[in-house]
Amino acid sequence: MRVVVVSDRFGHQVGAALAATRLSQGWQRQAPHDHVEAWALSDGGPGFADAVAAVPGSRATPVVVHGPAGGEVPAQIVTRERDGVRTAYLDAAHAAGRHLVAESALLHPQTLSSAGVGELLLAARGAGADRVVLGVGDLATHDGGRGLLVALGAGEDLAGLADVRADWSGTRLVLAAATELPLTGFHGASATLGTEHGLDVELTQELERGMGALVELVDRRLPPPKDLLSGLRRKPEREPGAGLGGGVGYAVQRLGARTEPGARLLLDELGVRERLAGALVVLGTDVYDWHTVHDGVVAETASAALDVAAPSVVLAREVMVGRREGMALGISGTYAVRDGEDLSGLAARVARTWSPAPTPPPAAPPPTEA
């Protein structure tokens, strides 16, 4: 049997590439008769660039940018060339990730800057990239992407925003979005800080007002286009992905970036989708919950496997939803890590069920004498 292991990261300690390797090794140990291949993927959040770097043909270049609190932090630009086009894959978390600041600073996200993400974009273009793919998920910053735009030359009052947009028109920008989070509204970036990160309602309302003021300023500097059907001005702040990274998504969208789900984009660009047909697809993820069922690596890969009638199973550190939630994706089974079991052991246990050792043919009867 051919087995395709596709994994997201397992928490903050085990990256997607390492998780995919451990799962594939465990499966191969238990089922040496199978052909097993391992792929690391990301939804666009932390680990996005690392997943691309793990694929042969990718080149990682270290750079230094400013972190959300102002100090210098290490980052990297991962490049791949295809059909004469050099694409740079960037991870916004390298410059503005929540892991870069203390817990106390996360209680005041409006004081943190996305400027380092802008510096990362400039470094990618300076490295000769024709196309830049920026992975954005949950970040420490919540400045509406203002720091990013200032770093690109828009000025503190964003008076030069139109010039920055024109300057970047020759570079193909892609936002690899972890979710469809909008910037404003009841389900926007500020509200999510309350529901998912426990910030006080008073603070989230204050942040929402600040986002509204920023949107008004940006619209004056760079009027949004009109909707072709209604003739009314579009609302870029309500676009899917605009709220990612506290508005980093909004900033790059206003610069002309096309938005795609991060996991779906990598399935195609790394050639994973074409490997699914005729295989058992083993999906690794940290927590299999309602979020995982709808967005990210598991949802996108399982859906792609279903399109080609390939069965899929989920292996996770923790399983929080039942079989019914995954039925629409064609997921055939879910397995959680047991006490004292590592990822390799989990994969070996599942392999015993899905790929038992082939039964040897019966011995030929001894020849009879004439």
Question: Domain map of the chain by residue range?
Answer: 2-41+277-354, 48-264
pLDDT of residue 226: 84
pLDDT of residue 370: 57
Residue 179 DSSP label: S
Beta bridge partners of 47: none
* Mean pLDDT calculated for residue range 63-84: 96
Closest by Cα among 92, 121, 41 to 247: 92
* Mean pLDDT calculated for residue range 290-314: 95
Beta bridge partners of 131: 87, 172
Work out whether strand 331-336 and strand 2-7 pair parallel, antiparallel, or are unpaired.
Answer: unpaired
* Mean pLDDT calculated for residue range 118-122: 98
Q: Where are the alpha helices (DSSP H) in the chain?
A: 16-30, 48-53, 92-96, 103-106, 115-126, 146-151, 161-167, 189-197, 201-221, 248-254, 262-269, 290-294, 297-307, 323-327, 343-354
Q: Would you call 59 helix, strand, or coil by DSSP?
A: strand
Closest by Cα among 135, 133, 220, 143 to 189: 143
Residues 6+ apart with CB under 8 A from 86: 79, 80, 128, 129, 130, 131
Q: Which tens digits make up the pLDDT trace of 343-358? A: 999 999 999 999 987 7
Residue 113 has pLDDT above 80, yes or no: yes
* Mean pLDDT calculated for residue range 54-69: 96
Residues 6+ apart with CB under 8 A from 342: 22
* Mean pLDDT calculated for residue range 274-294: 95
Work out whether strand 172-177 and strand 131-136 pair parallel, antiparallel, or are unpaired.
Answer: parallel
Name the architecture of domain 2-41+277-354. Answer: 3-Layer(aba) Sandwich (3.40)
φ/ψ of 340, rounded to 5, equals 80, 5
pLDDT of residue 365: 75
Residue 369 has pLDDT above 70, yes or no: no
Predicted confidence band at 11 (pLDDT cuts at 50, 70, 90)? Answer: confident
Residue 255 has pLDDT above 60, yes or no: yes
Predicted confidence band at 328 (pLDDT cuts at 50, 70, 90)? Answer: confident
Residue 361 has pLDDT above 80, yes or no: no
Predicted confidence band at 50 (pLDDT cuts at 50, 70, 90)? Answer: very high
How many C-beta atoms lie closer than 10 Å to residue 120's C-beta? Answer: 27
CATH class of 48-264: alpha beta
Least confident residue range of 28-32, 194-198, 284-288:
194-198
* Mean pLDDT calculated for residue range 246-262: 97
